[in-house]
Structure 1
């Protein structure tokens, strides 16, 4: 009887979809906080390798289709944050601090409990505010350069109608074609050679407060907690403590090479752990192993893709990144505004995050969370809730409870 290859196929597809749907966001985020093209390419390569190794370890060790990914919301956060005091090396130091916090979440239950106390509506609102300016880029791009950006948006629209899962990859392919046409002969072959670039980390208070803390919160709330919920929904238990240590270690190893954060996959996790991963649930772990191998192959393309993105005309790559994040924005807005009692604080948090302001060298995401907590403590939530009786709790509460149940060795 022939062996069922559907788990491996599902893993390959999940890796390709995950990579192609968000690598532009990662490159844009790393460049925004000061990375050169070579350092951004190194970061993308390092993230691919780190999450591949971590995924292979967890999948084979536990025979569980546990998928890892880079933090796409975290990369979007970097786009909105921009350069910080201390430059790129300070950003790398913040990535290392994030790695330590992720690992400690697995080792110190009290830290996980502290994160769980952050209102999910505010975490989602902060992310929505971070995403909003990026998601406006397709509109601005079409207005400024319709002949260049228009085909990218059209490919996304056609994809949403005919093949929704591949709509974002299709728009990115069209964007790269536009870049190739517009920059014919300008991208040197040498620029496509994979290479790692080491950065010795430094630390600054603005970088730690403005990057490390928001990056940790966004990664936990938008990747790790939903990732646990997706796995639980498909009947699998996540080894919480070990997974946090493994992803924290992966982030620490990738950080000096330019990687920002490794975490549990959320959306693509369902492609491996769900029915698409094969009829035999006991063999779906092979899908995660297949995804790991695929990411190692895709890592070789990091430098070439970075060279193309760097050479792109203004607006093309930004539009592709905005389209890639529209789905995340929609989910974040829905979760942030689901509970009437939390809406005022959530909207206050959202607008501060979307403002992009920098105060005392610290970016808007941190201040957005503080403002949200302040407004939440002042506004009488009971009165607001009474205006809409029968409303259910926020959509993120279930995943949060799921993560709590799985916080075991």
Structure 2
């Protein structure tokens, strides 16, 4: 039985997890879905189904394993979508790519060597690819500030003030203010009359098979989700003493992604940053009982899924560029961490720089986006540099041996 203190701490920790996780990144998800061809109604459907699938998965895993396991949408994956652009075949091809991503996630959980293979991708290259993907999005607040200073400036000032006072809430508060600005704009403009009404049902899209979308969108989405969400998420749980159920969670989130894909959900996975909110002592002194905070968070996401249509309608009715600017602000911290991680070590830094530049370039070759080519280029540069370095060391060693002889 729960006593009052335990219940209160679990509920508070769960609510904080929801608020930080949702408000800090929903603008990124909407921006990403629109960038790959979703209409406002389809983007709203995608955000809603993500809430439903990750809320359900959180409840199942936390209850089954009695651990504070929280599942989230792939924020880096949404950022990747925002930088990729509409694939050949449009939104139906993007939906197909989401399904392929879900299959890859599930297979990664079922086939141990595949997970080990992903783990062998140099962290610096994965971080550089993510940083390159984030740059165009994080430039939007600066660009939008010049076009609409009265709308964007309050969001940026709020983020800056909260960054100094409560860093954890900085992005969420800035995005929340953007939502308030959108509400005000709705009250003074044409409003929601041109958008789908609140409460619109999930929108089904028949997937259109596309090899270019599978290679250029699904594979990078899978890799960035694994490297930037699943692996760090397991590490966060481990830092609080929990042995995360790798296979079960990846299988469930992979299947959840497949189920949600036709309705616009791009990927669900282990929570990374917000995972600590339910796993820390703030959720309770007894580690064995913190799973209850995750269950609260799971039910909270289900509730948010039910009101997402209203939230997205308000956002889309807001001033042009506000949503994209809010997404850019929300990703500034992730960009900083990715840049720091990609350039931390001198050895192999050139490969990381190449990866970053190709990803930031936004190029598309044969219908395949920049993220794929960035990782391919980085791996090639790294492999060549390693071989040349070894050959050079061998020549130097042979020279020294010849001199001694």
Question: Normalised by the size of structure 2, how large is the TM-score?
Answer: 0.92
Q: Which of 74, 81, 106 is 1:103 aligned to? A: 106
Instruction: Tell me the equivalent position of 2:267.
Output: 261
Deviation at 1:22, TM superposition (A): 0.4
Asked if residue 305 in structure 1 is aligned to residue 311 in structure 2, the reply is: yes
Instruction: Tell me the equivalent position of 2:78.
Output: 75
Q: Deviations over 1:82-115 (max 9, x none)?
A: 1001111111111010000000011111211221
Asked if residue 191 in structure 1 is aligned to residue 197 in structure 2, the reply is: yes
SS at match of 1:76: helix
Asked if residue 177 in structure 1 is aligned to residue 183 in structure 2, the reply is: no
Deviation at 1:381, TM superposition (A): 8.3
CA distance in 2, matches of 1:313, 1:193: 22
Q: Which of 365, 376, 380 is 2:382 aligned to? A: 376
Q: Is the 8 A contact 2:185 2:317 kept in 1?
A: no
Asked if residue 322 in structure 1 is aligned to residue 325 in structure 2, the reply is: no
Q: Deviations over 1:278-336 (max 9, x none)?
A: 11111100011000010011112211122122223222211110110011111111111
Asked if residue 37 in structure 1 is aligned to residue 19 in structure 2, the reply is: no
Q: Is the 8 A contact 2:196 2:313 kept in 1?
A: no
SS at match of 1:250: helix
Question: Normalised by the size of structure 1, how large is the TM-score?
Answer: 0.91
CA distance in 1, matches of 2:358, 2:23: 30
Instruction: Tell me the equivalent position of 1:89.
Output: 92
Extract structure 1 runs of 4+ deviating beyond 4 A: 380-384
Instruction: Tell me the equivalent position of 2:393.
Output: none
Asked if residue 168 in structure 1 is aligned to residue 171 in structure 2, the reply is: yes
CA distance in 2, matches of 1:285, 1:44: 25
**CA 1:180–1:8 in structure 2 vs 1: closer, same or farther (change >3 Å)?**
closer
Instruction: Tell me the equivalent position of 2:399.
Output: none
After the TM superposition, which of the residue ranges 201-210 and 180-189 deviates more from structure 2? 180-189
Q: Is the 8 A contact 2:233 2:270 kept in 1?
A: yes
SS at match of 1:183: helix
Whichever of the two has the greater Rg, that structure is 2
For structure 1, the residue ranges without an aligned partner over 5 or more in a row are: 385-409
CA distance in 1, matches of 2:138, 2:207: 31
SS at match of 1:259: coil
CA distance in 1, matches of 2:71, 2:384: 39
For residues 8-407 of structure 1, the aligned pairs below 5 Å read 8-184=11-187, 185-188=190-193, 191-380=197-386
Q: Is the 8 A contact 1:134 1:318 kept in 2?
A: yes
Q: Is the 8 A contact 1:309 1:317 kept in 2?
A: yes
Q: Deviations over 1:193-249 (max 9, x none)?
A: 141011111111110111100000000000000000000000001111101101001
**CA 1:84–1:190 in structure 2 vs 1: closer, same or farther (change >3 Å)?**
closer
The number of aligned residues is 385
SS at match of 1:17: helix
Deviation at 1:383, TM superposition (A): 6.0
For structure 2, the residue ranges without an aligned partner over 5 or more in a row are: 391-405
CA distance in 1, matches of 2:4, 2:21: 29
Instruction: Provide the aligned C-alpha RMSD in A.
Output: 1.7
